Amino acid sequence: MGSPRNYRRELDVGSAVARVIYELDGVTYNREVFASHPHQVLVVWLTADRPAALTFQAKLSRPEAASVLNLGNDQLVLRGQMWNGGSWAGMKFLARLHASAKGGKVAAVNGGLHIERADEVTLYLTAATDYQMHLPDWRQGSPAVTTAGQLASAKLEKYSDLRAAHIRDYQDLFRRASVCLGETQAASEPTDSRLNAVRAGRFDPSLVALYFNFGRYLLISSSRPGAMPANLQGLWADGLQTAWNCDYHANINLQMIYWPAETANLTECFEPLDRYLALLAKSGAKTAKTHYGARGWTVHSLADPWGFTSPGESPSWGLSPSAGAVVTRAGAGRG
């Protein structure tokens, strides 16, 4: 097997579809990926310009607190339960990976899905936990039932229809705002080259517009009504021990994430933070009374999905009692 040629990786922020294209041994391979909000499924579509060219193995894995099993010949299930401070009896989670192939065959092999000599393959990934904000014990339903329903719904649709529904839903928000600052020849270059050139002093106004659009893509993709608000790494955290625990920093970072919400006409994307503030206000009232003998509520630098509002681990950065007022200003002037 030779080395890949003409490799191209791109993200279309206008449609929220990612693509990878490359040539290998005379075959051009194409991969499209998107996360559908209306169908609650991540979809990967793999094609090649030669019949029977797709042979690979798909797996699910997690470093701890999870097990993987095959469900038939075309589905993997990863499931587990988190540590709650005393035992592995905390939040439950479950993910399903299903493979649908045109041509060739799909088989469960060694804890994975082996796809052999397919013309086209569509992978569907659904995932859920039993967490729900505001419930007294934060649990809601079964992630197994939730993911089974999501997967069954997505499988009823053709790939083209899933893709179209995703783009319609996303563009309903994305197309509410636009900015044009002019364009130079640099617009045709890879983004990393453009960034390096700007650091060296080159004028590239359309890169600023792209940055604005990328910020809107991030907010639309990670903050929708009914879900949790966007955290420090949004939905793209990689690993178990992420930077700053992938939590909420209420002294400035959380506000920065939501600055584009009203400016870019994305009011719906603010709903998760609006609901989260109500959770913080409830637990933060206890913190204000306990630590300061004060009425009202407060949150310090650190917050989490369970409403942690106490001072952080170090007074030099964790003692920020005004963070409640600051984060509330993220929604000032709404409506």
3-state secondary structure of 173: helix
d(CA 260, CA 168): 21
- Stretch (H or E) spanning 207: helix 205-222
Q: Which residues, other chains included, contact 129 with Cβ-Cβ below 8 Å and sequence gap of 6+?
A: 91, 92, 93, 94, 143
d(CA 123, CA 31): 11
Packing angle of the helix pair 205-222, 191-199 (nearest 10 deg): 130
Q: What is the pLDDT of residue 330?
A: 57
Q: What is the pLDDT of residue 234?
A: 79
DSSP state of 283: H
DSSP state of 279: H
Every domain of the chain with CATH number 2.70.98.50 lies at: 5-174
Q: What is the pLDDT of residue 238?
A: 82
CB 114 within 8 A of CB 97: no
Third-level CATH fold of 5-174: Beta-galactosidase; Chain A, domain 5 (2.70.98)
Measured in whole angstroms, how far is the alpha carbon of residue 234 from the centre of its chain? 6
CB 7 within 8 A of CB 28: no
Beta bridge partners of 121: 46, 101
- Nearest CA to 145 out of 153, 135, 137 is that of 153
Whether the model clears a pTM of 0.85, i.e. scores above it, the answer is yes
DSSP state of 134: T
Q: Block means of pLDDT (10 residues each) for the chain, length 335 residues?
A: 90 98 97 98 98 96 92 94 90 96 92 95 97 75 94 96 98 96 94 96 96 96 94 84 88 89 94 92 94 94 92 85 77 46
d(CA 223, CA 55): 36
d(CA 248, CA 233): 10
Q: What is the pLDDT of residue 334?
A: 47
Alpha helices in 34-189 (DSSP H): 143-155, 159-174
**1-19: buried (b, 16+ CB within 10 Å) or exposed (e) per residue?**
eeeeeeeeeeeebebbbee
Residues constituting the chain: 335
Alpha helices in 88-204 (DSSP H): 143-155, 159-174, 191-199
Beta strands, E only, 62-166? 66-70, 75-81, 92-102, 105-109, 112-118, 120-129
Beta strands, E only, 188-306? 248-249, 302-303
Q: Is the dihedral of CA 197, 198, 199, 201 positive or negative?
A: positive
Can you read off the two tokens belonging to residue 191? 């983004």
Q: What is the pLDDT of residue 207?
A: 97
DSSP state of 176: T
